[in-house]
Amino acid sequence: MVGRSGCGKTTCLKVAAGLLAPSSGSIKIGDSPVDGPSSDVGFVFQTPSLLEWLTVIDNVLLPISLKGSVNKSDEKFALELLELAGIKHLAQRYPEQLSGGQQSRAALARSLVTSPPVLMMDEPFAALDALTREDLQDVLINLVEASGTTVIFVTHDIGEAAYLGDKILVMEGGLITHEVEIDLPRPRASDLRYEAHFSKLCRKVRSAMLLGAGQC
Amino acid sequence: MRHISSSALLVAVLIAWELGVLLSGVSPLVLPAPSAVTETLWDGLVSGALWQHLWVTGAETLLGFALGCVIGFLIGAILAEMPRLRRLLWPYVLASQVVPKLALGPIFIIWFGFGMTSTVIITALICFFPLLENTITGLSNVPQEKRDLFRMLGATRLQTLLRLKLPTSMPVILAGIRVAIVLALVGAVVGEFIAGSKGLGASIIAAQGMMDTTLIFALFILITLMGLFFYQIIVVIERRILQSRQKGTF
C-alpha cells in the first residue's frame, strides 16, 4: 500500500491487524472476521521496538516465550531467522549495541518466529538510509520467500513498493483509489531497480497517486 | 584531580573558619570552631552517647523509607493500571502531596503517641509521594508501539505489566527511590523534632535547650554522613538492579 503521509495507510493497517476498532464496516482475513489482535498476524512497526533489556535472540524469541516455554527447536529456528537476516553473530548482543539497520533486522526476525500466515508491516524501513534500506528489502524478500508468509507492506516510497510488491494499492484520503499489478519476475535482485520496465511501473504508480490526489 | 581540589577547598574553608573564630573571639554559643565540633563529635562517639541516637534515627529512616516506598509503589502501580480510578483520585493525590507532611506530626502524636511510630509514619508519608508519582509516570509512559507489540503477541495484562511496563519504567522508579532516601532522612530528623525523645533530631532539640551549639554542629555532621552513606547504598543497589535487568532476571 502506498500513499502520501496522512492518507490513512497506517490506520487501515492497524484496523486490519485488530489494533484499532473500525468506526464502521468490518475486516475479514480469509473467512474469519478480525475482532482483535490475532496470533495469526505478525506486525512490524515503524520503529524496531526491541526490548532493550533482552538480548537479540531473546527479543526474537519473545513472541514464543509469552505463549509458554521456549524449547530447543524454537531457539534453532530463531537462529536460522537471524542467519537469514544476516545478524546471527549478534544474537547475544543487546539492542543498544546494534545499528538502526541491525535492529530492524532483529525486528523482522522476531515478527516471523511464530511463522504467522500474514505479516503486516508499517513503513518499517522509513528511518533507514538508502543503502541500508535496500539491504533490508532484500532480507525481507529472502525471509518471506523462505516462510511463504503473505505480507501487507505500507510505505510512502514508490520504488520500495514496486521492488517488494506483487500488487500495489494506492491510497488517498482514506480510500484505495487505484490498483497496480507488478509483473516483475521473482526472485528479485537489486539490479532490477535500473531496468526500464521497473521505471515504467514506478511511473504508473506515481501517476496513479497524482490522479488520486486530483480526485480529492 | 577533581577530588583533590574539592578536598583542598574543604580544608581551606575549615582553616579559615577556625582562624576566623579564633581571631574574632566570637562566642562558641554562636559559632563553635571546627576543632571544638570535632572534639565533641569524637567524645560522643567514643563514650557511646551518640550511638543510640544514631541507631534510632537510622532505624526510623530505613523503616519509614521501606514502608513509604512499598506502599507508594503498590498504589502507583494500581493507579497506573486503572486509569478510571486514577482520574477519580488524582485531584486528591495532588492535594495531599501539597499538604506539608510534617504539619501532620501533632495529629500523629495524638494517634500513635510520642516516639518512634509517629516518626516512622511521617517518614513513610514523605517517601510515599515520589514513589507514587514516579511509578505512575513510568508505567504510563511506555511507548505506544511497544504496547501494541505486546497486544499483537497476545500478552496478558499481567505479562504486559511484568515483562514490558515494569522493566521499561525501572529507571524512573529507581530515580524515585533515590529521591525518597534523601527525603526519608529529612523526614526522620524533623519528625523527631516534633515527635521524638530519642534520635539525632531529638538530640538537636535537646542540645538547643542546653544552648550547646557545638553539639548541634556535631549532630549535623553525623546526619550528613548518614545521609551520604544511605544514598551511596541506594546508588549501588540501583546499579545492581539495572544490571540484573539486563541479564534477564526481569
Does residue B41 sit within a domain? no
**pLDDT computed for residue B177 by the predictor:** 95
User: Which residues on chain A are in Cβ contact (under 8 Å) with B152?
Assistant: 17, 19, 37, 41-43
Does residue B64 sit within a domain? yes
Residue of B nearest to A45 (CA): B145
**pLDDT computed for residue B119 by the predictor:** 92
Nearest to B145 among A42, A47, A94 (CB): A47
Q: What is the pLDDT of residues B99-156, one digit of tens each?
A: 888 888 888 889 988 888 999 999 999 999 999 999 999 999 999 999 999 999 999 9
User: Which residues on chain B are in Cβ contact (under 8 Å) with A46?
Assistant: 145
User: Which residues on chain B are in Cβ contact (under 8 Å) with A19?
Assistant: 148, 151-152
Q: What is the pLDDT of residues A116-166, one digit of tens each?
A: 999 999 999 988 899 999 999 999 998 888 888 999 999 999 999 999 999
Question: A63 CA to chain B: closest CA distance, Å?
Answer: 6
- Distance between CA atoms of residues A92 and A160, nearest Å: 31
Does residue B24 sit within a domain? no
Among A37-41, B147-151, B216-220, the minimum mean pLDDT is found in A37-41
Q: Name which of B149, B158, B168 to mutate to probe chain A: the one with the most chain A Cβ atoms within 10 A of its Cβ.
A: B149
Residue of A nearest to B245 (CA): A53
Residue A189 confidence (pLDDT) above 50: yes
User: Which residues on chain A are in Cβ contact (under 8 Å) with B158?
Assistant: none
Q: Is the separation of the CB atoms in A49 and A107 below 8 Å?
A: yes
SS (H, E, C) B66-115: HHHHHHHHHHHHHHHHCHHHHHHHHHHHHHHHHCCHHHHHHHHHHHHCCC
Residue B200 confidence (pLDDT) above 70: yes
Cβ–Cβ gap A66/B150 under 8 Å? yes
Does residue B131 sit within a domain? yes
A168 — pLDDT class (breaks 50, 70, 90) = very high
What is the count of structural domains for chain B? Answer: 1
Give the structural domain span for B221. 53-246
Q: Is the separation of the CB atoms in A158 and A202 below 8 Å?
A: yes
B183 — pLDDT class (breaks 50, 70, 90) = very high
Flag whether the pTM goes above 0.95. no
Q: Average pLDDT over chain A, rounded to whole?
A: 90
User: Which residues on chain A are in Cβ contact (under 8 Å) with B250?
Assistant: 53
Residue of A nearest to B155 (CA): A66
Residue B76 confidence (pLDDT) above 50: yes
Does residue B72 sit within a domain? yes
| 3-class state of residue B40 by DSSP | helix
Span B181-185, average pLDDT = 94
CATH of domain A9-157: 3.40.50.300
Q: Give me the interface pTM, i.e. the ipTM.
A: 0.89
Environment class of residue A29 by beta-carbon count within 10 Å: exposed (0-12), middle (13-18) or buried (19+)? middle
